[in-house]
Homo-oligomer: A and B are copies of this chain.
Amino acid sequence: MINFRTDMAIERNDIYRKQNNIENQIDGIITEEEQKEDINISRVKILNEQGEKALAKPKGDYVTLDVKNIKNIDEEGIQKIAEVLGDELRKIIKKHITDTEDILVVGLGNLYVTPDALGPKVVPNIEVTRHILQYIPSAMPEDTRPVSAISPGVLGVTGIETMEILKGIVDNIKPKMLIVIDALATRSIERISSSIQIADTGIVPGAGVGNTRKEISIRTLGIPVIALGIPTVVDLASITNDCIDLFIESLQQKAMSNDYLNKLREKDNYEEIKEALIPKDYNMIVTPKEIDKLIENMSKIVAKGINISL
């Protein structure tokens, strides 16, 4: 099986096609692209088990929005992207529940670790209505959807699995859908805080490896889970792999490679290089220096987009 080193369906689709020399669509997968207001929208639909196997992701819809230059964006720009995001989100929500059914927004991550702070920064900007509908219903239009929002923290801080916290809350307040904001792994530096993947398949870490312990999805919670995933960092290990791959590729193009190198490239990893470069105690990440500002702007876009869709 391919080690994709990315959670993004669109990247997996490209890698799979390249590795298997597929020129057209992969069997069991439909993709399409659209351009809206400088935003590139890619749609990957995994139709059946064959598609599931190819991309090692569950059946469902994966929409990716690629936006440019979030760093220097102004409020008008934020508004534009939020509207496109809101549209896409609304379409996916409608496939699963009605306009007045209860939604709980969940911001995963750790507020005190900058590249992991996106989820917790979105939550305070969600326009929650559930409590108003409960205590002073007359203050809101009749068909207002009950919306609530929570930031459950991370295991290292709470000592509790996120799934255990969510299970408790979902059982108790009984929403009809979860929208979960989460960080994604990507292989492309350019996607950091610039891509948003919307998937209606929940969050299935380690999917395909058989480890479903922390899965947050309809299977574990009994309600549909929309995942809003945004890449905020790239693993240094992933970068060093790509770096050496690119290096060998450039040698091959110049006919300066050799048999050993050509074979090397087929293997996936270069453990000794990584060990020499990367200290073991740390979780090394690659990120733009401007990550604080990127997270700030992206959290505004996501909060607005969700508010528009609801």
Contact with B along A189-223 (1 / 0, CB 8 A): 11010000000000000000000000000000000
Classify chain A: how many residues form its interface, as a range: 35 or more
Are the CB atoms of A189 and B158 closer together than 8 Å? no
Are the CB atoms of A247 and B233 closer together than 8 Å? no
Are the CB atoms of B277 and A242 closer together than 8 Å? yes
CA distance A251 to B270 in the complex (A): 12
Q: Residues of B contacting A150 with CB < 8 Å? A: 152-153, 158, 160, 165
Contact with B along A140-179 (1 / 0, CB 8 A): 0000001111111101111111001101111111000000
Closest Cβ of chain B to A117, distance in Å, is 9
Instruction: Name, among A149, A158, A173, A276, the residue most crowded by chain B CB atoms within 10 Å (CB to CB).
Output: A158
Which single member of B128, B157, B284, B289 contacts A149 (CB below 8 Å)?
Answer: B157
Closest Cβ of chain B to A283, distance in Å, is 4
Interface residues of A in 60-83 (CB under 8 A from B): 69, 71, 75
Closest Cβ of chain B to A138, distance in Å, is 17
Q: Residues of B contacting A284 with CB < 8 Å? A: 189, 286-289
Q: Residues of B contacting A251 with CB < 8 Å? A: 260-261
Closest Cβ of chain B to A114, distance in Å, is 5
Are the CB atoms of B115 and A246 closer together than 8 Å? no
Q: Which of A10-18, A40-48, A290-298 is the interface stretch?
A: A290-298
Q: If the complex has contacts A158-B150, A173-B168, are A292 and B113 also in contact, measured as CB distance less than 8 A?
A: yes
CA distance A124 to B156 in the complex (A): 9
Q: Is A285 at the interface (CB under 8 A from chain B)? A: yes
- For A110, the closest partner residue in chain B by CB is B124
CA distance A273 to B247 in the complex (A): 6
Q: Is A239 at the interface (CB under 8 A from chain B)? A: yes
Q: Is A90 at the interface (CB under 8 A from chain B)? A: no
Which single member of B168, B236, B272, B288 contacts A168 (CB below 8 Å)?
Answer: B168
5 contacts between A and B (CB under 8 A): A128-B158, A146-B159, A149-B157, A240-B243, A286-B286
Query: Other CB < 8 Å A-B pairs besides A131-B160, A282-B288, 4 of them?
Result: A69-B281, A114-B114, A150-B160, A192-B282
